[in-house]
C-alpha cells in the first residue's frame, strides 16, 4: 500500500502474528529484506514499514514471495499473476506527490531481544556481532537461520555440509543485500576465507 509522497507499506492479514513481529521478505533468490510488522488495531492486520519498493520490481518478475518470522513460521505466496497489479501499483506510487502531501513517519525498526550468547559475525577481519544476539530459524531449509545484534543481521541458508549467506553490511539497514558467499562448517561455526558466522549458545 502506498501513495505518491508517502512511504511504502506492506500488509499481512491473517498471518497469525502476535504483537510486533520481525520478519524476512524474499522473492525467489533475490536479496532478503527485514522488517518489523506492527499490529494495526483498527484493521486487524500487520503493517511492515521498512520494506523497499524494490520488492515490487522483484515481485512482478518473480515466482514466489516468502515471508518468514524469526520463529520459522513461513507464508508462501504465488506471484504467478502479480506482474500486472504490481505494475499498476508502481504507476500510481511513482507519480509526483501533491504539494500538500508529506512523507509519513512510521515506527523505526527495533532489534529483537537477544536469546543467545557468544554469537559472532566476522567479515573481512571485522566483527559486526561479537557477543549476545537473537537467533531464529529461517525458511524451509533444515538448520538455516537468521541472527541479529548491534543493528546488523545475517541470514545463513544451510544445505547439508555447505552454507550460503547474506548480511545487511550497514548497521540499521533492513536489506540483506551483501552476499557472504559459500561457507563450510567448522565446529559450531560456518567459515570461508573472509567470513565466520557462529550462532552461539542458548
pLDDT band at 64 (very low <50, low <70, confident <90, very high): very high
Query: Average per-residue pLDDT in the chain?
Result: 86
Span 80-109, average pLDDT: 73
Tell me: the pLDDT tens digits for 132-159?
999 988 876 678 899 999 889 999 999 8
In 3D, which of 8, 39, 201 has the Cα closest to residue 103? 8
154 located within any domain: yes
Q: Which of 32, 60, 93 is the last residue of a domain?
A: 93
pLDDT at 115 over 80: yes
Residues 24 and 87 in one domain: yes
Where does residue 42 rank: exposed (0-12), middle (13-18), buried (19+ CB within 10 A)? exposed
For residue 147, the enclosing domain spans 116-198
66 located within any domain: yes
Span 9-37, average pLDDT: 88
Number of domain units in the chain? 2
26 located within any domain: yes
In 3D, which of 138, 134, 152, 150 has the Cα closest to residue 199? 134
71 located within any domain: yes
**pLDDT higher for 180 or 100?**
180
pLDDT at 102 over 50: no
What's the CA gap between 57 and 25, in Å, rounded? Answer: 14
104 located within any domain: no
Report pTM.
Answer: 0.62
Residues 16 and 87 in one domain: yes
Amino acid at each position: 500500500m502506498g501513495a505518491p509522497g508517502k512511504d511504502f507499506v506492506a500488509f499481512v492479514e491473517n498471518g497469525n502474528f502476535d504483537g510486533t513481529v520481525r520478519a524476512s521478505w524474499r522473492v525467489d533468490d533475490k536479496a532478503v529484506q527485514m522488517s518489523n510488522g506492527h499490529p494495526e488495531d483498527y484493521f486487524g492486520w500487520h503493517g511492515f514499514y521498512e520494506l523497499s519498493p524494490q520488492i515490487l520490481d522483484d515481485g512482478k518478475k518473480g515466482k514466489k514471495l516468502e515471508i518468514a518470522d524469526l520463529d520459522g513460521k513461513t507464508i508462501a505466496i504465488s506471484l504467478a499473476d502479480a506482474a500486472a497489479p504490481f505494475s499498476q501499483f508502481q504507476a500510481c506510487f511513482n507519480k509526483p506527490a501533491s504539494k500538500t502531501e508529506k512523507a509519513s513517519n512510521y515506527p523505526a525498526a527495533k532489534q529483537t531481544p537477544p536469546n543467545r550468547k557468544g554469537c559472532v559475525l566476522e567479515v573481512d577481519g571485522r566483527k559486526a556481532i561479537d557477543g549476545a544476539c537473537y537467533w531464529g530459524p529461517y525458511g524451509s531449509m533444515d538448520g538455516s537461520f537468521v541472527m541479529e545484534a548491534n543493528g546488523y543481521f545475517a541470514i545463513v541458508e544451510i544445505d547439508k555440509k555447505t552454507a550460503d549467506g547474506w548480511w545487511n553490511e550497514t548497521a540499521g539497514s533492513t536489506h540483506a543485500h551483501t552476499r557472504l558467499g559459500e561457507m563450510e562448517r567448522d565446529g559450531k561455526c560456518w567459515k570461508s576465507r573472509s567470513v565466520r558466522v557462529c550462532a552461539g549458545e542458548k
